[in-house]
Structure 1
Amino acid sequence: MKFITFVHKGKEQIGVLSLDESKVLKISKILGHERYEDMNQFIEEATELDLDIIAQVRINEKDLGTPVEEIRYLAPIVKPKHDIICVGVNYESHLKESTLALQADLSSQKSPVYFSKRTTRILGHEEAVKGFFEIDEELDYEVEVAVIIGKRGINIPKDQVEDYIFGYSIFNDVSSRTLQKGHLQWYKGKSLDTHSVLGPVILHRSALPLPLKLKVESRVNGEVRQSSSTELFLHDIATIVSDFSRGITLEPGDIIATGTPSGVGMGFDPPRFMKKGDVVECEVEKIGILKSSIVE
C-alpha cells in the first residue's frame, strides 16, 4: 500500500493510492471517521484492523477515489516530530567521492555516520526547492531511501527491526556544499529551508521485506547522475535502526535517511551543482519518482 498526504479542494488529507495508482482513496472515507488528522497520527495510532480494511477496500472498490490529476501532493509527513536522522557515506562509492570533495578522511569510519537535518516543513512531490544562491552557490542533490518508523522503541534487536518500521519513502537530501564544508558539523549545510524533500508516497513495509534490494537513481534535467542499488549499503537498514536505537528512543513517524550513492554534483570534475530552473528526479524502484524544481 502506498500512503500519501495530499490537498484536494483546498483541504489537506491523507489517503492511499488505488491498485493502479490512478486514484487516491481518502483514509477518512474508507474507515468512516476523521480520527486521524495527519500522517503522523495515522502511523502512530492506526490498528492492524484499520490497515486490513484499507487493503481490502483498495482491492474490492476499484471505482472509488479521486483521480490523482485532481490532487496536489504534499510530503507524506509534512511536519516531522523531530529533525530527520541522516546516515552519511553509506555507499563505498560516495564515501570515496566525499573524501575527495570535502577534503576529509572518512575511510577509517567503521560504524554508521549520523547527522541530523533541521526540518520545520518537508517539501513533497513537485514542490519547488529554494536555492538560497545568495548564501551558497553550491546546491546539490542526494537521492536516498527513507525509513519511516512505525512504533516506539529503544535498544531494538536487529532481528526485530522490521517490526518497528511503518514503511519506506524517497528522500532528496538537498545540500548546500559551501556551508557544509565551512562548518565542522554538517548540520547548517544540510538544513536550509525547503532542503528536505520526501515522497511521493510511503510504501508500507509489507511490500518490501528486508533486506532491501532496490535500484536507486537520480536525474537532473533528464540526465542520469546517480545509479546504484541498496544492496551496496555499507550498513543495511536493520543495522542502522538497531545501532541508532541503542540508548536512543525512536518514535512513530521518525524519518531515517539511509545515505546516497556516488554521482552527486560535488563529485564531478568540475562540480555540477544545481541552478535555477533545473528539475531533479529521485527514483527508487517500487516506491516511485520524487520530482523537484529549483527556484531562486
Structure 2
Amino acid sequence: MIPDSLFSLPDPISIPVEGELSTYPVGRIFCVGRNYAAHAAEMGNEVDREASFYFTKSALNAVLSGATVPYPPGTENFHHEMELAVAIGKPVFRATRADALDAVYGYGCSLDMTRRDLQVRERNKQRPWHLGKDLENGTVLAALTRKADWSPDDNKRIYHNANGETRQDATLEELIWKIDEVICHLSGYYHLRPGDLILTGTPVGVGPVLAGDFLEGGIDGLQSISLSLI
C-alpha cells in the first residue's frame, strides 16, 4: 500500500514548443556564469577562461513569457539578464564536442532575473548566490524552437528592451564558451537528461527594473520573450 502524501506540490513548469501540441517539462535549470566578457567586466569581474562555471535555479520558481509578476521582496536593485536557453533532449554524460549538440532538443529565449544587491552582498562574503538568483518568478522562459529549425550561429542577435529602450544588444559570437563546449563540460559533472535547461549567460547592458516596467527581448529566429512587473 502506497501511503498518501501529506500535501501536493506544484506541478513543474512546461514550455510550449513551436509547431507542437506537446510541451517540454522542465526538471533542472543550470546557468552559466560570466559567459560574455563585456558583461563580466561591467560587473567588475574577470572571466575564468580555464573552464565555465555554473549556478542553479529551481524550475518551481520559473514562469512563462507574458507573465505579470510582482516586484520581488528584499531587494532595491532588481536586474534583467537576457539569455539563450538550451533544452536537453536525450541523456548525455561525459559528452565530447563531436556529439554534444546531438543531445539538444531545442532553443529558446530566457530571462535570468536577479536581485543584484543580494547577489553582490553574498558574493562579497564568499557565500552562495541563492538569495540573489533563485527567487520566485526569477526565471522567465519563452517557447522553444526545435534544433532542426534553428541553429545558434554566431551572427544571431540577442537583445533586451525595458519600456521600449534597448539595453542589451549583442550577438551570440560573444559567447566565450560555445554551446557544445558547455554541454561537454557540464556533462562531466552531471548526467544530463531530458528536461534539463542550460541558460548560457547574458551580454553587457544589464540594469535595474522597477514595478510597472515592461520587459521584452529576443534572439534572431526564436520566439520573443516578455515580462510585466507590478
CA distance in 2, matches of 1:203, 1:153: 20
> What residue is the counterpart of 1:209 in the other structure?
151
Contact conserved, 2:77 with 2:115, CA < 8 A, in 1? yes
Contact conserved, 2:34 with 2:47, CA < 8 A, in 1? no
Alignment size in residue pairs = 214
Relative contact order (C-alpha < 8 Å, sep 6+): which is higher?
A: 2
Q: CA deviation at 1:122?
A: 1.8
Per-residue CA deviation, residues 174-226 of structure 1 (Å, 9 max, x unaligned), is 00011101212222201110011000x11100122355541000000000000
Root-mean-square deviation over aligned CA pairs: 2.0
CA distance in 1, matches of 2:48, 2:192: 28
Contact conserved, 2:61 with 2:138, CA < 8 A, in 1? no
CA distance in 2, matches of 1:257, 1:179: 20
CA distance in 2, matches of 1:148, 1:16: 11
Rate the CA distance shift 1:174–1:127 in 2: closer, same or farther, 3 A.
Answer: same
CA distance in 1, matches of 2:179, 2:54: 13
CA distance in 1, matches of 2:186, 2:79: 26
Rate the CA distance shift 1:128–1:113 in 2: closer, same or farther, 3 A.
Answer: same
> What residue is the counterpart of 1:280 in the other structure?
215
> What residue is the counterpart of 2:50 in the other structure?
110
Structure 1 position 140 matched with structure 2 position 86: no
> What residue is the counterpart of 1:255 in the other structure?
197
> What residue is the counterpart of 1:151 in the other structure?
90
> What residue is the counterpart of 2:138 in the other structure?
195
CA distance in 2, matches of 1:202, 1:129: 21
Stretches (4+) displaced over 4 A: 12-18
Q: CA deviation at 1:13?
A: 9.1
Sequence identity, in percent?
28
Rate the CA distance shift 1:151–1:223 in 2: closer, same or farther, 3 A.
Answer: same
Relative to the length of structure 2, the TM-score reads 0.86
CA distance in 2, matches of 1:15, 1:116: 22
Aligned residue among 93, 97, 100 for 2:42:
97
> What residue is the counterpart of 2:128 in the other structure?
185
Contact conserved, 2:61 with 2:134, CA < 8 A, in 1? no
CA distance in 1, matches of 2:42, 2:14: 41
Q: CA deviation at 1:168?
A: 0.2
Return 5+ residue gaps in structure 2 as ranges.
1-12
Rate the CA distance shift 1:108–1:135 in 2: closer, same or farther, 3 A.
Answer: same
Return 5+ residue gaps in structure 1 as ranges.
1-11, 19-24, 28-37, 41-79, 100-104, 266-272
Structure with greater Cα Rg: 1
Relative to the length of structure 1, the TM-score reads 0.68
> What residue is the counterpart of 1:219 in the other structure?
161
Aligned residue among 170, 180, 194 for 1:238:
180
